[in-house]
A and B are shown apart, each in its own frame.
Chain A
Amino acid sequence: MEIRFEDEKPIFLQIAEQIEDGILSGAFCEETQIPSTTEISVGYKINPATALKGINLLVDSGIVYKKRGVGMFVASGAAKKIMEKRRKEFYQKYIIKVTGEAKKLQLTQKELTEMIERGYKG
């Protein structure tokens, strides 16, 4: 679990995304507990306020919820929610970059498509 401090992405966002990754990969199952703010803060060596911000982001988007006196739990349907969100962001986050870079290197659309097909097979 790595945090990159010089990354453009704010740390709390990186935290939220890493937890989402965990939910998608099955490391955190639905209706199970995720690490507390203290555990995250200590584990990544970041300020608890930052960890809390990351968690609150997930609470706001309905990915996790708080069980009073116990801790933070993965909401049911969270994995699905995350997938949908990331699908929506896929175009902006990845496609634009790839096509931009491809255009820079003067690759044709056909060449790019061939590469994509290769990617799926591999």
Chain B
Amino acid sequence: MKGIEVKNVSKAFGKVNALRDVSVTFEKEKIYGLLGRNGAGKSTLFNVITNRIFPDEGMVFIDGETSAGNDSALQKIFMMSEKNYYPETMRLSEVIRWTREFYPDFDTEYARELAGRFGLDLRKKVKGLSTGYGSIFKIILTLSSNADYLLFDEPILGLDANHRDMFYKILLEKYSQNPCTVVLSTHLIEEVSGVIEDVVIIRQGEILKQASQEELLANAFVITGNAAEVDRFTEGKKILGTESLGGFKTVYLSEFVEKSSLPSGLELSKMDLQKYFIQLTNHEGGEMA
């Protein structure tokens, strides 16, 4: 079985249950979005997958092999996280050199080319990087590693709009040329929604949804209009959340609505991923669908 399989993983830090019986699969050669609010457990999940921390329960399999203590399995993954794991006094070019030692498929030429495009001087030392350029450097390492599984934990932290634009384009270029599995973990959903194929939504350590974006949004609609009419129409339907402004009401539904069944006076529109995510993970929101 190809892919990263997380089976029934639980992890607690003291009293906090960071992951609760999490099972999720990242299949080969797809771009995934791992979406969750701050503190939902995204980083913890990544850290368990890459064996940086140990789960209390459950196991992780990479292409069918257990990942723990397994060099060949672990080196199919390259992960970038917010934190820095390189010695502060190392030069970026040295970091590249050593990454290549551990990831033999690492493309140094490509890394240099990307550094040029982003305007990053590789003679700098790790400690001399700003937050944005720290992210950029790690992005470059990840994309150049040519590992089968690329995990990006909050890749766009600190990146200005131009660099974010470049990141998505370069990611898509790379993915088109060398298909691999990409998991983008983020709470910035709007930008990322165009790029991701499959969605995994995590809330407070639990996986709420795992599906393709298309499937998820095929049954996600927004009804707006006069409050009374809206209520009448949406009664008994799967409601994710509601918003009111005066006599005007908006209801978010997670079921399919046939356009022709809509009474005149009510507006129907599709939910985008960000709206869907917000409604699904709102604590004050409606029921979970």
Interchain CB contact under 8 A, B173 and A11: no
CB-contact partner of B172 in A6, A8, A11, A42, under 8 A = A42
Please indicate the chain B residues that have their CB under 8 angstroms from the CB of A11 in the complex. 194
Interchain CB contact under 8 A, B176 and A45: no
Interchain CB contact under 8 A, B270 and A44: no
Q: With an 8 A cutoff between CB atoms, is A41 at the interface?
A: yes
Q: With an 8 A cutoff between CB atoms, is A59 at the interface?
A: no
Interchain CB contact under 8 A, A45 and B172: yes
Interchain CB contact under 8 A, A5 and B172: no
Among the stretches A46-54, A63-71, A73-81, A87-95, the one at the interface with B is A46-54
Given known A-B contacts A5-B194, A47-B194, A38 and B173 have beta carbons under 8 A apart: yes
In chain A, residues 1-34, which have Cβ atoms closer than 8 Å to a Cβ of chain B?
3, 5-8, 10-11
Q: With an 8 A cutoff between CB atoms, is B272 at the interface?
A: yes
Interchain CB contact under 8 A, B269 and A48: no
Given known A-B contacts A5-B272, A7-B270, A46 and B169 have beta carbons under 8 A apart: no
Please indicate the chain A residues that have their CB under 8 angstroms from the CB of B175 in the complex. 48
Please indicate the chain B residues that have their CB under 8 angstroms from the CB of A38 in the complex. 172-173, 176-177
Complex: A48 Cα to B176 Cα, angstroms: 7
Q: Which residue of A lies closest to B259 (CB)?
A: A8
Nearest CB in chain B: distance from A120 CB, A: 30
Complex: A41 Cα to B182 Cα, angstroms: 15
Complex: A27 Cα to B273 Cα, angstroms: 32
Nearest CB in chain B: distance from A111 CB, A: 21
Q: Which residue of B lies closest to A49 (CB)?
A: B197
Please indicate the chain B residues that have their CB under 8 angstroms from the CB of A45 in the complex. 165, 168-169, 172, 194-195
Please indicate the chain A residues that have their CB under 8 angstroms from the CB of B169 in the complex. 42, 45
Complex: A42 Cα to B177 Cα, angstroms: 12
Q: With an 8 A cutoff between CB atoms, is B193 at the interface?
A: yes
Complex: A11 Cα to B175 Cα, angstroms: 19
Complex: A18 Cα to B28 Cα, angstroms: 30
Interchain CB contact under 8 A, B172 and A41: yes
Complex: A38 Cα to B169 Cα, angstroms: 10
Nearest CB in chain B: distance from A65 CB, A: 21
Nearest CB in chain B: distance from A11 CB, A: 7
Please indicate the chain B residues that have their CB under 8 angstroms from the CB of A48 in the complex. 172, 175-176
Using an 8 Å CB-CB cutoff, how does the interface string of B186-201 with A read, 1 for contact, 0 for none?
0000100111110000
Q: With an 8 A cutoff between CB atoms, is B111 at the interface?
A: no
25 contacts between A and B (CB under 8 A): A5-B194, A5-B272, A5-B273, A6-B269, A6-B275, A8-B268, A8-B269, A11-B194, A37-B176, A38-B173, A38-B177, A41-B172, A42-B176, A44-B194, A45-B169, A46-B194, A46-B195, A47-B172, A47-B195, A47-B196, A48-B172, A48-B175, A48-B176, A49-B30, A50-B197
Besides A5-B273, A37-B176, A45-B165, 6 other A-B contacts (C-beta < 8 A): A5-B190, A11-B194, A38-B173, A38-B177, A47-B194, A48-B175
The 10 closest A-B pairs by CB, nearest first: A38-B176, A6-B272, A46-B194, A45-B168, A47-B197, A42-B172, A41-B172, A42-B169, A8-B270, A45-B194
